[in-house]
Amino acid sequence: MKTIKQKKVIALVAHDNRKKDMMEWVSYNWKELVFHNLICTGTTGKLIQETLSMKCHENELIPPEVIRLKSGPLGGDQQLGAYIAEEKVDMLIFFWDPMQPQPHDVDVKALLRISTLYNIPVATNRSTADFIISSKLFHEKYNPLIKDYSTYISRSVDM
């Protein structure tokens, strides 16, 4: 059984047209985020690291470590999907741009699919992210129910 610990690993991703929204959200919620481990794709990670460093410096706190993966179109979405499949990510905040086609749309779809498969909380917009971060469960241990796929793994395949 997977346990989401009190100190969580939070994945933060934003498409280019949503990076400003993500930085505003991070800036507003920095006091909640600094107690958790953060993992981000490319440029989003750089911007989040800068935003949190500034906020922490102003308040004489040590900023959290931000693990930065590759940019989404360069494989960052797939790297993040691997972390989720290895149960190393507890939730995903992904501000995606529904109005702009992305060169890596299939990777985005795969990332959302793997997040659903492993039953981690996912926010794809600011309202959902606000609900997640303000939930009493955000700072508690949580045991999500993970569907048992053992019959799928042990299925017989005709050759």
Enzyme catalytic residues: 77
- Cβ-based neighbours of 76, under 8 Å, separated by 6 or more: 13, 41, 42, 69, 70
Contact predicate 100/17, CB 8 Å: yes
Q: Report DSSP state, residue 94.
A: E
Contact predicate 1/143, CB 8 Å: yes
